[in-house]
Structure 1
Amino acid sequence: MMTEMLEPKAPIRTGNDTVLQVDGLDVDIRTPRGTVRVVSQVGFTARRGKTLALLGESGCGKSMTAKAIAGLLDPVASVTGGSASLDGEDLIAMNPKQRRAVAGPGLGIVFQDALTALNPVYTIGTQLGEAFRIHRGANKKQAKLEAVDLMRRVGIPEPETRVNSYPHQFSGGMRQRILIAMAVALSPRLLIADEPTTALDVTVQAQIMELLRKLRTEDQMAVVLITHDLAVVAEEADDVCVMYAGNVVEQGPVAQVFTSPTHPYTKGLLDSVPTDAQRGEELSSIPGSPPELNKIPAGCVYQDRCPLASAICREQRPQLRETAPGQRSACHFAEKVGQATVSQSGVVQAEEENQ
């Protein structure tokens, strides 16, 4: 007689739509040359049933922010300030035992490299069933049934037989589906997806994003999506938090921020998308490169690449302020961003106007 699957426990929900509240988060890394701040005063809100995108170039602090929230920082890194509250419980203040208890029913994470995230010596069924054995006391048969059900839910064909397969026997897209299944196994309140479509072809990328959207809606999870892909943000996210050099420079509803950006970095990213490019034309790009994190300049972190940079930008770091209802920007000249250009003449004109 086959053992019945476990009845799912109802996830803890509160009346407030806010699932994750991050305030003033600081993360430092210890290096041979001294301590470097890689995340500085980061704050944002992730809401139930909605997707918040952390957007920015590589090295801007997106993944480090997610690791700090999930308690997965490397030994050389540590949270030195701020809070990250999951339904009112501060994740940063939790001890290791409390962290383990919240991993699964409270927080799930999808990593960008499925092959290294999965253990090569255990079957997929064993790895998927682990959450049910640890958190719900399932026996071996119950855990295997739950694993088959999870595989079916995320679109793995023939789950009854493939549950006994190993990670290397699946394609990249299928492995990513398995990672997602592991992350949502216990219907977490918060799902962090760190570049979930990296190294996948365009068709598979679309399938993975559609799967995440479906699961988010079914479980009413809050999703934090880490990406540098503007198209993915435009299509999948409700809110966006733009990061640069470890700082949040703009945040707000995606449609609003993408239509009317109020920070030069956001505008530069949007202008770099070749929407109407013609053969032979020079593509638009942001000049320069992000600063080294141990050499962040005083004042605005974006000043070296900004067409609006002026004396005040070199002396005083701008704070996030409301530029429109629900939209905030860390720019002294947020109201002039719509007219900013990346040409040398634009830089001179902006400086003359600002002085």
Structure 2
Amino acid sequence: MAPSSDIRWGIIGPGWIAGLFAEDLARTPGSKCVAVASRDLGRAQSFAEKHGIARAHGDYAAMAADPEVDIVYIATPHSHHHQHARLMLEGGKPLMVEKPFAMNAAEAADIIALANQRGLFVMDAMWTLCNPLFRRLAGRVQAGDIGTPRAFAASIGPMGGPKNSRVSDPELGGSFTLECMVYPMNILAGLAPNLLADPKVTASGRLTERGVDSASAIHLSNIDGHAVMSGGFVPGADGADISTFRLVGDEGWLAVTDNLFNPGRALFSSRGGELEELAEPASEQRYRWEIEEAANCLRHGRKASTLVPHELTLSVMKLLDQSLIQTRGRILP
């Protein structure tokens, strides 16, 4: 494709999150959605009409074979990410896969291995790692402005979790740990990978009658320090705006004070200097940053993102596996 041409996106799984993604995609220069696919053609057509998308497919194989699609965004339930990612990759499509990337580390490794074998781009849709303020904070930490990271703490929620929704259904991969703890795990990996070096993992959770972890707490510790993260679903609640995190180093600290998922404001203390308030212009287009990152990678022929590298995705999935063994007694599914 020409460097100046639009990146043409396809979406499979036209649900709520896909709708938000499509809205941001339509407002992101250099990218456009040209196709959507669902197992229900009527649902795909309705989504296409709502979002001004040219083509609707009634099966996923048609998306994999669509010559007008440059990259596919997988927004189906994560219980099906592995199956659908393989189908798209076997059809020659680069991918962005909605979080969690897969149900477990083995599935994630298989997707990445197939992408590498086919010479195709694949990226975990962890938009927090592409957020401008997060990238600014990561740069400061990597420059040594807070010294060596020693302690991390994240609190999520209470998050909305209707009883009859996907997040409560074990057949669809319902799990607070997979659905939400994947965020602080990725944030920790992006800011302080030293705290993820061979950590001891301790985790606990609250299980529903259907065996789904509706809340969990995870503690990681190693020779460098420790990390703790916790949260849970509360039916009818939407507490994303009170989800925060803090990172303490031996020469300073930082704290995101507004929104763990899409940070816009933070406090930063470096080497005994004056406390700084950092901010980036707020954007309602929270998916824009990951869309731009994937598009830039495709234009430059990259097979992986440097902001969300494969190694980071795999390390996080392995830690989630260990956490789920303790929380639910087994790796999912």
The structure with the larger Rg is 1
Global fold match (TM > 0.5): no
TM-score (norm 1): 0.31
TM-score (norm 2): 0.33
